[in-house]
Amino acid sequence: MRTRSEIIGAVDKPVLLIYLLLVLLGWINIYAANYSVDYPSIFDTSREYGMQFLWICIGLAFGVGLLMFSGEFFRKNAILIYGGVLLLLIAVLIFGREVNGAKSWFGVGGFGIQPSEFAKMATALVIAAYLSDINMKVKGLKELLITILLIGIPSVLILLQPDAGTLLVFIGFLLVMYREGLIGNIIFLGIGLVFVTITTLFFIKTEWTLAEGLVVNSGWIISLLIIGLGVLAFSFVKRFILPRFRKQNIRGLIIIVISSLITVGAITLIYQSDSILKPHHKTRIDVLFGHMEDPSGAGYNVTQSKTAIGSGGLLGKGFLQGVLTKYKYVPMQSTDFIFCTVGEEWGFIGSSAVLILFLALLLRIIHLAENQRSAFTRVYSYAVASIIFMHVLINVGMAIGLAPVIGIPLPFFSYGGSSFLSFTAMMFILLRLDSERLEVFR
């Protein structure tokens, strides 16, 4: 058995270095977002930056502890970890504390723990354990359904809280499934349905007058348009495609049309139902797609965030010199909108540097994944990369007004113990698994 120093010495240094650098930069930005001349010490635990320092210490100790377990421990116990997190997700629906309309927290004294943050790590482990069986690929219907079920169970429990932000992250597991054999056409179908969803939401409040007294909702128009395009495509396939490919293409075309129509109907139903979509969520969608302007209400956060980022210019205003940051013009500036602090104080150059660091981390993780002998480590590494990618994409998109405000942290930057511990655990498990890449074949 290797000693502690041998284990630590075998971890991937670039990943560890980027992780530590992101953690340090995140802590500094939380300090900038909450700085007060009355509490100048960055270690003051009465302030968020002091509490974040405690979480960093706890997280690093936790991470080093995870390095002491063998990779086989995580593979064998993946289903137990997954099951334990599912029980926590069920328990939080019953005993949890409601915060901002979502029942997703356990309150322990002055601390709060959010099980949904750890659900991502647990799902990554159980998918890696399932797909690491010899010759297992997401091609057969059985394998596809089981993988979707493993992802879907925690997704449904998170949806019940409701926590739309965390739920969206689970979409990233499609990238893992694609790497492990999922047919590319399914990914393209998913992208197409996303486009249909965006189009439906964009025109959701539009009505057309077809004749006097005959006014129809945009959903019907879009559905008719999809059917019309389907008929044209069907005719093209029947006329010009070779006979041996014709049947397969027509079958795919029918699936696309039916899926699109179901999507239009489901989005319209959800949008119009007050019991499914909460009013404040609907307002955020309306603001995002230009159906209404509410700069002092639902659109206030995004407006102030974009103003802060834009005011930073090329080089930024300097550390602790951000005016909008200093006077707390942006709500949730140390959590959901931490990126606007980066933009205002560090400018375009600093913001780009942060995004490049995240990109470097993702590319390095993918590089490690492709050099594994162990299928378990490869799948898990891709899962971690997908989770981080989705978080960065959505959080930065929120800050610059390209994504709806759904409350999702920027990894290692946003204030919060659950998020930090979850990402730290994912990273150190990855480091431990990768340290065995020359020894493990399964």
**DSSP codes joined into one string, 309-375:** HHHTTTT-S-TT--HHHHTT-STTTTTTTHHHHHHHHHHHHHHHHHHHHHHHHHHHHHHHHHT-S-H
Same domain, residue pair 310 and 249: no
Same domain, 349 and 209: no
Residues 47 and 170 both lie in one domain: yes
pLDDT of amino acid 420: 93
> Is the Cα dihedral 237, 239, 245, 250 positive or negative?
positive
Bridge partners of 106?
A: 113
Q: Tell me which of 280, 301, 336 is where a domain ends.
A: 280
- Measured CA to CA in angstroms, residue 355 lies from 22, 26, 244, 350, 359 at distances of 10, 13, 47, 9, 6
From first CA to last CA, the distance across the chain in angstroms is: 19
pLDDT tens digits, 84-116: 999 998 888 887 776 666 667 776 655 677 888
CA separation, residue 5 to residues 11, 67, 119, 139, 430 (Å): 10, 10, 30, 42, 17
Higher local confidence (pLDDT), 441 or 38: 38
Is residue 353 very low, low, confident or very high in pLDDT (cuts 50, 70, 90)?
A: very high
Both tokens assigned to 111: 């601390």
What DSSP element (H or E) covers 105?
strand 102-108
Residue 442: inside a domain, yes or no?
no
For residue 366, being part of any structural domain is answered with: yes
347 in a domain, yes or no?
Answer: yes
- With respect to residue 369, please indicate whether it lies within any of the assigned structural domains: yes
Which pLDDT value is given to residue 275? 59
Shared-domain flag, residues 154 and 21: yes
Helix (H, G, I), strand (E, B), or coil: what is residue 40? coil
> Residues in the chain, how many?
442
Per the structure, the complete domain to which residue 236 belongs is given by 205-280
Model confidence at 322, pLDDT cuts 50, 70, 90, reads confident
Contact (CB, 8 A) for 410 and 392 = yes
Residue 430 lies in a domain: yes
Q: Verify that 319 and 348 share a domain, yes or no.
A: yes
What are the structure tokens assigned to 389, written together?
């990618």
pLDDT (tens digit per residue) in 385-438: 999 999 999 899 888 888 777 778 899 999 988 889 999 999 999 999 988 876
Q: In the beta sheet, which residues pair with residue 97? A: 105
- Kindly state whether residues 271 and 411 are assigned to the same domain: no
Percentage of the chain exceeding pLDDT 70: 79
Instruction: State whether 388 and 299 are in the same domain.
Output: yes
**Dihedral of the CA atoms 409, 411, 414, 420 (nearest 10)?**
100
Count helices and strands (H / E) in the chain.
18, 5
As given in the structure block, the two tokens for residue 255 are: 């699936």
Helix (H) or strand (E) holding 219: helix 218-240
Total tally of structural domains belonging to the chain: 2
Q: How far apart are CA 198 and CA 183, in angstroms?
A: 24
CA–CA dist 321, 41 (Å, integer): 17
Residue 430 near residue 384 (C-beta atoms within 8 A): yes
Confidence bin at 19 (pLDDT 50/70/90): very high
CA angle, 214 then 219 then 220, to 5°: 45
- Predicted TM-score (pTM) of the model is 0.83
* CA atoms within a 13 Å half-sphere pointing along the CA-CB vector of 417: 19
How far is the C-alpha of 308 from the C-alpha of 117, rounded, in Å? 28
| C-alpha angle 207-213-216 in degrees, rounded to nearest 5 | 25
Q: Rounded to an integer, what distance in angstroms lies between the CA atom of residue 74 and that of residue 126?
A: 9
Each residue's pLDDT tens digit, 193-207: 777 777 777 777 776
Which residue in the block uniquely carries the two structure tokens 């689970």? 170
User: Is residue 224 predicted with pLDDT exceeding 90?
Assistant: no
Write down the pLDDT at residue 173. Answer: 86
Positive or negative torsion for Cα 414, 171, 436, 366: negative
Please identify, among 280, 304, 320, the residue that sits at the C-terminal boundary of a domain. 280
Q: With 80 as the cut, is the pLDDT of residue 185 above it?
A: no
**Residues 149 and 214 grouped into a single domain:** no
Res 201: pLDDT: 75
Same domain, 135 and 246: no
Judge if 181 and 273 occupy the same domain.
no
Check residue 267 and report its DSSP letter: H
Torsion of CA 33, 38, 40, 43, to 10 degrees: -90
Same structural domain, 184 and 333: yes
Distance CA 253, CA 223 (A): 15
Q: Which residues contact 416 (CB under 8 A, 6 or more apart)?
A: 55, 114, 335, 409
In this structure, are residues 145 and 408 in contact, taking their beta carbons and an 8 Å threshold?
no
pLDDT band at 234 (very low <50, low <70, confident <90, very high): low
- Mean pLDDT in residue range 175-197: 74
Asked whether residue 271 falls in the same domain as residue 330, the answer is no
